[in-house]
Structure 1
Amino acid sequence: FARDGATLYYKGEKLDAQPSELRYITTENGAASGYYTDGKSLFMGFYRLDARYSDETRRICYDPKHDIEYLFEPKSGAVFANEHKFNAQNMPYSAIYSVDNVHSFWPLFASKDGIYFWDGSKNEQAKISDYQLKGELKRLYADVFVDESSAYFLQQGEEWQRSKHGRHLVAQTVSLYKFAPSSSWRELGLVKDGEYGAVYANGDKLYFFSNIKPFYGIRHSVYEVADLSVIEILTRASKELSAKDISEMIKRGELVEASGEEVARSRIEYDSPKIILYITFGIAFVVIVLTTLAKPKRDERDLR
């Protein structure tokens, strides 16, 4: 940014904003984002966004694979993927996302007529489900949410394929599952002071809500407790519990992946290394041909 009196510039371009009030929109953990405001309007880069600023406005997610930031303004229910606004006809949206992308590569957004996401491969909004939430959606803990009737959890996934070129990523998915009623939830205790998650009860069922990024065989956001003896181990006030210990509980069947009804599923496909290789060689071939044609022809006498 640069300032000339009351005139503000962004990378040399004049910006219609109040310089004295300029500040970044923060992320969930308080860090600066690519969005900013002058206290009234919202901006990203050169773009003035079609929404008004409020104190609740937050940059909720970042998809590093597609370089997309997501902005959510709760009062109006407006959503932006970088500078692109989600369809205003379907506002207000409810944001369904994993803080720090623990169990979702990108966020989902519930509307009055279904559930949407931003397809980073096509750079456009896409509807993935006609499922409609009942009432206000609230975060219960980590990647578990509740509305007036049901509880839901987010889950990401990857599809891999083996070929003669090796193992490569085919697609990534983010799904929303309905798995329990929304009432009667009780927190039994935090796991390693909340670093690893928490244990909750609903009726006669107990669940471990994981806050661990997928590794060590811990890939899911919600596990049902199959062996009650692990409750004391998970919730004891101890710093010695490790992610590997929880992984062993999963291997022994003491914690099992929670089952539920998949109410929405988003999917982005990726090119195989073979296609990328062909494209690379194709571009290189075209460059060589054009370079050769561009060279000045030598006179025959010079050749002699």
Structure 2
Amino acid sequence: MSKIKITGIALGLLVLIYLFPQFTKPTLSKEERLAQFSPPGLVTDYFDRTGVALVKNESDHFQKLNNQIYYFFPIPLARYGVPIPEANVNSFKTLAQHFHWKDAFDQDQNRRKNIALDKNNVYCGFQKIPNLSPSRLIYLGGGYLTDHQNTYFCDWNFNASSDSIDPTRSEKIDAILFGTKIAKSGYHYPLYQLKNGKNNYKLILENIVTNGESTYVEGKQLKSTDPYNLRYLTSFQPHEKIWQVDSYITDQRHVFYKHEVLDLNYNITLETIPFNFKVYLYDPLSDRYFYQSHKIDYPNLKIIKKDDNHTFFPIFTSNDQIAFFNTQKLQLEVLNKNPFISELHRFSPSVFSNGKHIYFFRKYQTFSSTLFMFFSELCSTTSEIRVLNNMPFSQWKKEEDLFIHHPPDKGIPIKGSFWTYGDRLFYLPEYGSWTESLFEVTQSATIDQLRQNQLSYTQAEELFKDTRIFKTVKGKTFSKIKDVQRFCFKDILS
């Protein structure tokens, strides 16, 4: 039997194994599931653009349609508008209109675009906020609203209520075979009411309010006995790709992630580590790491790459093993034997040597591969550790660093370093190459100009695209981390 037939049979069996539970598990029909959460008057026609936006520069969230106010959720390639039956059309205005704010690209702007009011009520998306007076309304910042009688937090991240019920069998099959998005309904913004107290609430830190008795982070109560002594552990720089409000908080006694308290006492040696839009914490006193509020309780654990841009997870060593922390399963998973027990030399944040071999990192994403692809969705992310055998560290020589400032329309600079190994030239990017961390370079007069920082950002960017000059170093696979987001045929084949 040919390899192709064997592969086809194996693929068919895998698909049947995956689909069998979907056929045997009882589910509501698509219409029944969506009907449970679809409000009256819902507008879902993507091509219907008859509404008039109240404020154009606020993404057309609030619109007037058929003499009624609608809230349209910012969902890509979809139109999901919910009417606000209680809204008074003549007095209705967004929060920015009410306070006469100018459009500004600040973080808080995104956190208030779903808030509006009229002469009778205040609204969080399409929801009327109960017992909140529009005439006495005060915006505290960060999504917090008060009239000094009642205080609320209107979240800026919307949820779909239909996620609480499994989609139908046919929807799952269509998603697998045709890439069709599973229909959702019941979109809303979580709304939280804060406890009343003797004193008024005020914003004491970005995202945090207190009245001295109760303290809240993103609308959830933070159990601190000293709220006015709260602070964020670290002020992050923009290039670290994480907002300060996604970091850890301390009142000088306890440490919190969001509203959750961590299993450690505050000390000045704590180190916050942002990584790929997630946040970790290291406590040197207990020699333990934390992922958000979860304690990674393993001894002798060391992170070898805090500022790497070429994996989706930080890589740890633990005695004789190399590992990563699975953020979905919340457990440490071993990848291979630790190659750095005797020596560890760092070329760049993504390239290392143990004296004898070179280890480097790369990452990539796999998007939906279906019979008919209507939408491209993320299937999985893959992080790899690769190795170049028998290239001693002693024979490598760093030649120069490269740094080219980014223009206003680009987010990151071009940053890296050139190294030689014998008569071979290598480039190790830190910023500017999202996937690869090691290239072999064909030397030329243009490369000499690049090495002397004589090229503009645009010229350098174009040069890096030339795969005849910058050749990806493949090496051999040492370890691989595959994080599956959804079923795709490519996930079976890769």
TM above 0.5 = yes
Aligned residue in 2 for 1:247: 465
Q: What residue is the counterpart of 2:482 in the other structure?
A: 267
Give the Cα separation in 2 of the matches to 1:163 and 1:189.
Answer: 45
Question: Structure 1 residues 138 and 72 mapped into 2: Cα distance closer, same or farther (>3 Å)?
Answer: farther
Does structure 1 conserve the Cα–Cα contact (< 8 Å) formed by 2:364 and 2:382?
Answer: yes
Alpha-carbon contact 1:129-1:264 (below 8 Å) kept: yes
Query: 1:117 is paired with a residue of what secondary structure?
Result: strand
Tell me the equivalent position of 2:426: 207
Residue of structure 1 in register with 2:233 after alignment = 24
Question: Aligned letter for 1:85?
Answer: K
Measured at CA, do residues 224 and 40 of structure 1 come closer, stay the same or move farther in structure 2, by a change above 3 Å?
farther
Given the alignment of the two structures, is residue 42 of structure 1 paired with residue 249 of structure 2, yes or no? no
Equivalence for 2:281:
71
Q: Return the alpha-carbon distance in structure 2 between the equivalents of residues 182 and 80 of structure 1.
A: 33
Q: Distance in 1 between matches of 2:327 and 2:300?
A: 21
**SS of the counterpart of 1:103?**
coil
Q: What RMSD, in angstroms, separates the aligned Cα atoms of the two structures?
A: 3.4
2:385 counterpart (164, 176, 187): 176
**2:384 partner amino acid:** S
The CA deviation at 1:170 is 3.0
| SS of 1:122 mapped into structure 2 | coil
Write the distance in 2 (CA, Å) between the matches of 1:124 and 1:189.
Answer: 40
1:57 aligns with 2:271: yes
Residue 163 of structure 1: CA displacement? 1.6
**8 A Cα contact 1:112 1:132, kept in partner:** no
**8 Å CA contact retained: 2:382, 2:483:** yes
Q: For 1:236, give the aligned amino acid.
A: Q
Matched, 1:95 2:304: yes
In structure 1, give the amino acid aligned to 2:463: D
Q: Distance in 1 between matches of 2:283 and 2:276?
A: 16
What is the CA deviation profile of residues 126-177 of structure 1, one whole-angstrom value per residue up to 9, with x for unaligned ones?
2222334224646432422344554422211233452224155432111222
1:221 to 434, 437, 453: 437
Higher relative contact order (CA 8 A, sep 6+): 1
Q: 1 CA distance for matches of 2:423 and 2:383? A: 29
**Structure 2 SS opposite 1:183:** helix
Cα offset, 1:104, TM superposition: 1.8
Q: Residue 237 of structure 1 aligns with which residue?
A: 453
Measure how far apart 1:40 and its partner are. Answer: 5.9
Amino acid at match of 2:229: S
Alignment partner, residue 473 of structure 2? 258
Instruction: Supply the distance in 2 between the matched residues of 1:58 and 1:136 (Cα, whole angstroms).
Output: 26
**CA contact 2:352–2:359 (8 Å) conserved in 1:** yes
Q: Is the 8 A contact 2:214 2:221 kept in 1?
A: no
Task: Report the secondary structure of 2:276's partner residue.
Answer: strand
Contact 2:303 2:314 in 1 (8 A): no
For 2:409, the equivalent position in structure 1 comes to none
1:37 shift after superposition? 3.1
- The structure-2 alpha-carbon separation of the partners of 1:42 and 1:260, relative to structure 1 and needing over 3 Å to count, comes to farther
Aligned counterparts of 1:16 and 1:136: Cα–Cα separation in 2: 47
Checking the alignment, whether the CA contact within 8 Å between 1:25 and 1:37 is kept in structure 2 is: no
Q: Please, which runs of 5 or more residues in structure 2 have no aligned partner?
A: 1-207, 405-412, 490-494
**CA offset at residue 62 of structure 1?**
3.4
Q: Which moved further from structure 2: 199-208 or 127-136?
A: 127-136
- In structure 2, relative to structure 1, the CA distance for the partners of 1:17 and 1:115 (3 Å cut) is farther
Which of 340, 365, 368 lines up with 1:133 in the alignment? Answer: 340
**What are the superposed Cα offsets for residues 245-289 of structure 1, whole Å, 9 maximum, x if unpaired?**
2112x2xx2221123343322111121389xxxxxxxxxxxxxxx
**Do the aligned partners of residues 50 and 165 (structure 1) sit closer, same or farther apart at CA in structure 2, a change above 3 Å counting?**
farther
Amino acid at match of 1:14: K
How far, CA to CA, are the matches of 1:141 and 1:177 in structure 2? 15
Residue 50 of structure 1 and its aligned partner are, at CA, apart by 3.4
- Pick closer, same or farther for the CA change 1:14–1:136 going to 2, 3 Å: farther
Provide the C-alpha distance between the structure 1 equivalents of 2:312 and 2:484, rounded to a whole number of angstroms.
13
- The one-letter code sitting in structure 2 at the alignment partner of 1:259 is K
Secondary structure of the residue aligned to 2:304 is strand
Specify whether residues 154 and 271 from structure 1 end up closer, same or farther in structure 2 by C-alpha distance, changes over 3 A only. Answer: same
Pick from 311, 320, 327: which aligns with 1:113?
Answer: 320
**AA in 1 matched with 2:275:** C
1:85/1:51 Cα in 2 relative to 1: closer, same or farther (>3 Å)? Answer: farther
- TM-score after normalising by structure 1: 0.69
Compared CA separation, residues 137 and 27, structure 1 to 2 (3 A): farther
Could you tell me how far apart the structure 2 residues matched to 1:234 and 1:35 are? 41
Distance 1:38 1:138 in 2: 38
Q: Which has the larger radius of gyration?
A: 2
- Number of equivalences: 260
Q: Report the 3-state secondary structure (helix = DSSP H, G, I; strand = E; otherwise coil) of the residue aligned with 2:329.
A: coil
C-alpha separation in 2, matches of 1:188 and 1:59: 30
Instruction: For residue 242 of structure 1, report the CA deviation from its aligned partner.
Output: 2.6
1:144, 1:154 within 8 Å by CA — same for their partners in 2?
Answer: yes
Letter in 2 for 1:260: G
Distance 1:36 1:12, change over 3 A: closer
Contact kept, 8 Å, 2:248 with 2:255, in 1: the verdict is yes
Percent identity between the two aligned chains? 18
What residue ranges of structure 1 are gaps of 5+ in the alignment? Answer: 275-304
Instruction: From 392, 399, 414, give the equivalent of 1:188.
Output: 399
Judged with a 3 Å threshold, the aligned counterparts in structure 2 of structure 1 residues 270 and 92 are, in CA distance, closer, same or farther, namely closer
